[in-house]
Amino acid sequence: MRTRRTVLALSAGALCLAGCGAPGGSNSGLTIEAADATAAPGETARIEVQASSIGVQTWQLADIPQSWQVTHENFEPQPTAVRESYPPELVWDPVADSVTGSLVVAVPDEASPGEYTLAVEAGTDTSDERVVSEATVTVEA
């Protein structure tokens, strides 16, 4: 039995490593990166998002007040569906190898200067695997 466990452990490790760095298609290729943005009160902050092997993307306001409007723009490829839920979801079916786009945060006129966090999450929508990137929106005085 000990040999069998060792072989199973090595096989599982090899399968996990087999997808590392491989482009598209595999859950192990799931990534998301959200860039920080800066805006003054009354302006919009544009958070650039890049993802790979993605089936669904959501965002949560974290430190950003709920009254602030967050919209999505210019995603390539465009999502096949948008689920109007909380958090909102952009869906790609089938899973997209590579996605880029923007989340646009409307900073209200009365916003206080400071740093606010927007959490952006990606998944495949077919497994429990999720990755998160946090973007900081800096509101200047």
> 10 Å Cβ neighbour count for 32?
20
What per-residue confidence (pLDDT) applies to 23? Answer: 36
118-129, pLDDT tens digit by residue?
A: 999 999 977 889
CATH (residue range 31-139): 2.60.40.10
Mean pLDDT, contiguous 10-residue spans, the chain (141 residues): 35 36 51 98 98 96 88 97 90 96 97 96 88 97 86
Q: Is 86 helix (H, G, I), strand (E, B) or coil?
A: coil
User: What pLDDT score was predicted for residue 62?
Assistant: 84
- Contact predicate 36/135, CB 8 Å: yes
- Residues 126-141: pLDDT tens digits? 788 999 999 999 999 8
Domain ranges of the chain: 31-139
